[in-house]
């Protein structure tokens, strides 16, 4: 599977491990609940770590751990739920998180410009055909009226 990261199409070398599945080698991401539950085990294995957060999760809960997390996935259950936009802003603007923030799930390709402005730098599109669309839409606007992350 390919994704977009930093405006490039790249191969994705991460896998998400469902809460009821066994951990595996390589770069993996887990839910926030699992992160809290299995933190020690997760930190003792090889490979990079990511956390997938839903719109209702509180990003401040992750703040102490951000140095050990290389990927945060913002999981959209509904494109209309705009909390993920503030979550991204908080991660970058408040907690100075510098790892990858990736949009995943049911967001719209028409939202990627805004997402990139609040600090999302990677996009896992719902369909592989959307990759070039995401890339193009990241350039929807060349001007802006307000400060944000970008």
If the CB atoms of residues 86 and 98 are measured against another protein, the closer one turns out to be 86
Q: Strand, coil or helix: what is 19?
A: coil
Tokens of 144: 């802006």
62 binds another protein (CB under 8 A): no
Q: How many helices (H) does the chain have, and how many strands (E)?
A: 5, 8
Q: Who's near 37: CB < 8 A, 6+ residues apart?
A: none
Q: Where does this chain touch another protein (CB under 8 A) — which range of 5-13, 15-23, 43-51, 105-113?
A: 105-113
128 binds another protein (CB under 8 A): no
If the CB atoms of residues 1 and 58 are measured against another protein, the closer one turns out to be 58
Q: How far apart are CA 129 and CA 133, in angstroms?
A: 8
* Binding residues vs another protein (CB under 8 A): 79-83, 85-86, 89, 94, 108, 110-111, 113-115, 117-118, 140-148
């Amino acid at each position: 599977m390919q994704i977009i990261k930093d405006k490039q199409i790249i191969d994705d070398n991460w896998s998400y491990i469902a809460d009821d599945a066994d951990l595996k080698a390589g770069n993996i991401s887990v839910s926030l609940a699992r992160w809290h539950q299995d933190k020690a085990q997760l930190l003792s294995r090889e490979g990079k770590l990511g956390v997938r957060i839903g719109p209702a999760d509180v990003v401040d809960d992750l703040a102490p751990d951000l140095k050990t997390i290389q990927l945060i996935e913002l999981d959209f259950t509904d494109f209309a739920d705009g909390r993920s936009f503030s979550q991204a802003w908080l991660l970058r603007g408040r907690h100075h998180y510098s790892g990858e923030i990736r949009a995943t799930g049911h967001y719209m390709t028409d939202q990627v410009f805004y997402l990139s402005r609040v600090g999302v730098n990677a996009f896992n599109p719902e369909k592989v055909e959307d990759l070039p669309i995401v890339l193009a839409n990241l350039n929807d606007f060349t001007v802006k009226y307000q400060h944000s992350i970008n």
